[in-house]
Amino acid sequence: MEWIDAASAAERLGVKPATLYAYVSRGVLKRRHSEDGRRSLFDADEIERLARRGRPRGQPPELVIESAITALGVDRPYYRGLDAIDLARTGTFESVAEWLWSAPSARWASDPAALQAAVTAQHGLAGDLLPLDRLQVITTVLGASDSLRYQLDQESVVATGRRLICGLVDALPALGPGDPGSLAGRLWGKICPNPPTPALLHALQAAMILLADHELAASTLAARVAASAKADPYAVVLTGLGVLGGPLHGGASYGAERLLAEVAEPGQAPRAVGDRVRRGERIPGFGHSIYKNGDARGALLLDLVEAAAPGHGRLAAARAVLVEVRRRRLPEHNIDLALATLGAVTGMIPGAGEAIFAVSRTAGWLAHAMEEYARRSLLRLRAAYVGPPLQ
């Protein structure tokens, strides 16, 4: 059997690469990945048969967006061609965000006046409000305070992105000392009352990098639609935040937190998992729609937490849950479980995983927004109407 790369397959079919991948998602074509996971390969005979038969018809159109930001490999994302796993081992969140934005390195700081307004706006909120709810309030106030929010050229959006992400972190109530030397260190002090160790802070930094983007995830698609209508960056981020909290997306980390909280000691793992199976519920922190055989992001983050806090009781609970899920032959764990484990080991507040996810993914949303601003056209999905006959 001869295997050819995506460029050769698209050329033979006379379609764009994005259309080729749409055929894969619709089951028209099959593909496999190269051994390094960087390339998609197609059966040359299958491509030839499709080329002779002509383009598939009779199926509703599928939205395909060409993007140069993130490609999804077998078990991991690649940011503008670079392995996100490698970036997470050695990079900083700020440098990775700038890589996603194709922007030069510059100073990251929030706007003092906008920051004060965002802090003040939270005075009437409940003290136990989850961080994700606070982030929506903060984004709204930061946007209302920014007279440059409607500047949509790339340089301006990059500058807005730095101010916005710093503002999201700095406006959250302080809980502990943190580390002002990095954005990850500043975020630590807003979601954890305990001081960080260098190794655990590195794990948080890695988590932020791993979560910075994930191609057209639900929140990113929503953010791109908003950006295509020329919504300003703050409105784009608010759109993403609104979708992120769903339990099938970023909210899954909160579900994984609650799962681990039920396992006070390893022997309770079978009951916690079994009860969810009996109720027909998904096991939060397990399974992935893209990475069917395991999420390398979750594996790396879990390894970093284990290396930073060997023998910790919360790690034993997480490992017991893993063993029970595997005993039942359920899907492998994903980054949500690793994020919940990081929170449990460090003593982070409830909802910390969602906050890490939201702050990190803001970098990706803005990268996608910049692509849409440059396109100068509105994303318009079409519905396949199945309602009553038209009168």
Q: How far apart are CA 285 and CA 141, in angstroms?
A: 32
Q: How far apart are CA 295 and CA 74, in angstroms?
A: 9
Name residue 72's beta-bridge partners. Answer: 77
Crossing angle of helices 198-210/335-346, nearest 10°? 150
Count of CB atoms situated within 10 Å of the CB of 136: 15
- Tokens for 87, please give them: 């970036």
- CB-count exposure of residue 194 (10 Å: 0-12, 13-18, 19+): middle
CB 244 within 8 A of CB 251: yes
Q: How far is CA 350 from CA 17, 248, 253, 278, in A?
A: 42, 18, 10, 26
Which regions of 30-155 does DSSP assign to beta strands (E)? Answer: 31-33, 40-43, 70-72, 77-79, 82-83
**Which residue among the candidates 202, 288, 333, 368 is catalytic per the annotation?**
288
Name residue 82's beta-bridge partners. Answer: 79
Name residue 79's beta-bridge partners. Answer: 70, 82
- 288 is an active site residue: yes
Spell out the alpha helix ranges (H) of 328-387: 335-346, 352-375
Instruction: Choose among 78, 317, 96, 55: nearest CA to 205.
Output: 96
3-state helix, strand, coil in the chain (%, to 5): 55, 5, 40
**Which residue among the candidates 43, 295, 336, 368 is catalytic per the annotation?**
336
Instruction: Choose among 191, 237, 230, 233: nearest CA to 344.
Output: 191
- Tokens for 228, please give them: 């295509």
What DSSP string describes 117-143?
HHHHTTTTS-TT--HHHHHHHHHHHHH
Instruction: Choose among 288, 304, 300: nearest CA to 345.
Output: 304
- 83 is an active site residue: no
CB 190 within 8 A of CB 179: no
Which are the catalytic amino acids? 288, 336
